[in-house]
Amino acid sequence: MSSNICPECNQEWNGWWCKPCNSKRLQNDFNNWTSGNDKIDKFIQDAQLNADVNWEAIEWIPYDRFKDVKQIGKGGFGTIHYARWIDGIREWDIENQHWKRWDGEVALKKFDNFVNFNNVLNEEIKLIKKS
């Protein structure tokens, strides 16, 4: 078993995700991305600052970072697409000082209209808090 102490800050960690170190790292990167919407930016930033594990550190992903996008469904408000997301945050590589990335399959939802955007965001927040 690996050490329970983060080699960077010498605080206790789970062996692969150090909340204080990664929170600081992600915060330093806030100026390097934007969704173009202040409310979305704030939502993502809060999630990154409070992430206890990598899958809670949600990211803004430019569309060109998705590969093999294809439509797989259609609903009342838009369409559902399959895609591969090639560089999600997995963990910090201390030795090489960069994020280790993962390659995974995701579902994208494309809305026909953006009318009820606030409701959509509130619904996502509720889902995240429930899980």
With tokens 């280790």, the residue in question is 100
CB of 131 to Zn ion, least distance (A): 26
Tell me whether residue 8 or residue 91 sits nearer to Zn ion (CB atom): 8
Tell me whether residue 13 or residue 43 sits nearer to Zn ion (CB atom): 13
- Taking the C-alpha atoms of residue 80 and residue 36, their distance in angstroms, rounded to an integer, is 22
CB of 64 to Zn ion, least distance (A): 32
Provide the token pair at 19. Answer: 């909340």
Are 56 and 47 a contacting pair, CB within 8 Å? yes
CB of 22 to Zn ion, least distance (A): 8
Dihedral sign from CA coordinates of 51, 129, 121, 55:
positive
Are 18 and 92 a contacting pair, CB within 8 Å? yes
Tell me whether residue 10 or residue 131 sits nearer to Zn ion (CB atom): 10
Question: Where does residue 54 rank: exposed (0-12), middle (13-18), buried (19+ CB within 10 A)?
Answer: middle
CB of 9 to Zn ion, least distance (A): 3
Tell me whether residue 6 or residue 44 sits nearer to Zn ion (CB atom): 6
Interface residue list for Zn ion (CB under 5 A): 6, 8-9, 18, 21
